[in-house]
Chain A
Amino acid sequence: DTGVSQDPRHKITKRGQNVTFRCDPISEHNRLYWYRQTLGQGPEFLTYFQNEAQLEKSRLLSDRFSAERPKGSFSTLEIQRTEQGDSAMYLCASSVTGAAETQYFGPGTRLLVL
């Protein structure tokens, strides 16, 4: 059983450009989460999906951010008009619905906006 995978692992972009990240969850996991982690901090929740439905979005997720999970499998996170403050590690996690869910994390995509 493979774990959560994310692509790309690293992304360097110029301010104002759009970027898109992909996350492939563990195959039987119906829930998928996106987090952002800046240096010296713990991950901060951005959004989550149950199957293809986006059920919760953090206030951290500005209008420039959009996430999709079109077929309830992989998900994409797009950042439009990137800003230097978007530089962070973007983490994806997945879980199975249940009374005691544990989220399993991918390796993350490290974004640097110049």
Chain B
Amino acid sequence: AQKVTQAQTEISVVEKEDVTLDCVYETRDTTYYLFWYKQPPSGELVFLIRRNSFDEQNEISGRYSWNFQKSTSSFNFTITASQVVDSAVYFCALGNTGGFKTIFGAGTRLFVKA
């Protein structure tokens, strides 16, 4: 069965702190995709990144970075120098190669205090 676990329900940090959101997944597929989405208070899910199972290179985009480790089935997300605007719920998700069935974790709510 496919499953995504985000063990951190809520995280609270002070602005400018670094924060890492954990994601652990389970799948029997050899080819799959991993995603991170951000859901701000407005409610719309915003796509952040996609990774396929064959590409374990870490990625950095501005203050965001992602660490994909197939050996531990983890796809963690780090925000460097957090800002108040980063406050949102962040979802990790697992997709199959057909793309149609994406399994989401329960989300991590991030509070960044000024």
Contact = CB atoms under 8 A, between A and B. Distances in A.
A105 B44 CA distance: 7
| Chain B facing A: main interface SS | strand
Contact of B95 (A44, A97, A101): A101
Given A31-B99, A95-B99, A104 B104 contact: no
Interface string A30-47: 010100000011111100
Interface residues of A, number: 29
Given A48-B100, A55-B100, A97-B99, A42 B47 contact: no
A92 to B, nearest CB: 10
Given A41-B106, A100-B50, 16 more contacts: A42-B93, A42-B104, A42-B106, A45-B101, A48-B101, A56-B100, A95-B99, A99-B97, A101-B99, A103-B99, A104-B47, A105-B44, A105-B46, A106-B44, A107-B42, A107-B43
Interface of A: 31, 33, 40-45, 48, 50, 55-56, 89, 91, 93, 95, 97-108, 110
